[in-house]
Amino acid sequence: MKTLKRIAAGILSTALLLGMTSCAAAKQTEAVKDPAFTTIESGKLIMATNAFFPPYEYYEGEKIVGIDVEIATAVADKLGLELVIEDVEFDSIIAGVQGGKYDIGCAGMTVTEDRLKSVNFSTPYATGIQSIIVTADSEITDIDKLLAGNYKVGVQSGTTGDIYMSDTPENGGVGEDRIERYAKGNDAVIALTSGKIDAVVIDNEPAKAFVAANEGLKILETPYTIEDYAMAINKDNTALKDAINQALKELTDDGTIASIVNKYIPAEG
């Protein structure tokens, strides 16, 4: 009888253990299907960008392509989401992410103290250089000459070029009086070619594309500043930020991000 009781107890214990294991497995499966993060629209990752910033984002026919687009697509794939791109004015991106209109802002966007007041940022995924475009016959030969003179500087509104240049001379800018803001970087370049301004401060990669497309322009050898690019994310959605950071880590570790960047910006040498 004692033996039968022990067998019965063993069967009961095994059944309970199997039941607990099945329950744990069910909870784990449920957690995978129901991730901690949420997005504005179920199954989609809505990205705000300004598609006039080659090679990070630009139009190829009617399609938006570029470094940011491919990296955001790879992140969305990791999260099991479909990437949806909204092309908007650059200086409306942060407000849109903060207000819950977009899940992320991805537009060659630099982390700044001012922007961190409104949104969170992912870990950086690319490095940018702010460069200075002038006419080929310009008397501006370096950043010191630009800052010291009375030159008018064109910038794309809301970019770090705008933020840095509009600061006071003591802080490395030229001040509000010498800044001309444009909705698109190309608009600033057109103003430069027509003699309305003396220089344009913008990211080095778009700068190279603009100079190649407009005869009589050049980029100064000394960069204005070097910065890291990251994705803007709503402050209330820390779970989405964590998930994006994990995806970016995996994409960095397996070489995907380097491959995307090198596709658009081949390594020199």
* pLDDT tens digits for range 193-243: 999 999 999 988 889 999 999 999 999 998 888 888 999 999 999 999 999
What is the residue type of 124? P
Q: What is the tens place of the pLDDT at every residue in 136-191?
A: 999 999 999 999 889 999 999 988 899 889 988 888 899 999 999 999 999 999 99
Tokens of 206: 């778009």
All structural domains of the chain: 44-125+230-264 (3.40.190.10), 128-227 (3.40.190.10)
Is the per-residue pLDDT at 25 higher than 90? no
- The b/e string for 9-46 (b: 16+ C-beta within 10 A; e otherwise) is eeeeeeeeeeeeeeeeeeeeeeeeeeeebebeeeeebb
DSSP string, 185-236: HHHHHHHHHTTS-SEEEEEHHHHHHHHHHSTTEEE-SS-SEEEEE--EEETT
Mean pLDDT for 105-126 is 94
CA distance 124 to 155: 23
**For residue 34, what pLDDT is reported?**
45
Residue 95: count other Cβ atoms within 10 Å of its Cβ: 16
Structure token digits, residue 156: 């794309």
Bridge partners of residue 264, in order along the sequence: none
pTM: 0.69
Residue among 219, 227, 228 at smallest CA distance from 131: 219
In the predicted structure, residue 11 carries a pLDDT above the cut 50? no
Phi then psi dihedrals of residue 81, to 5 deg: -120, 160
Cα Dmax for the chain? 105
Sign (positive or negative) of CA dihedral 22, 24, 25, 30 = positive
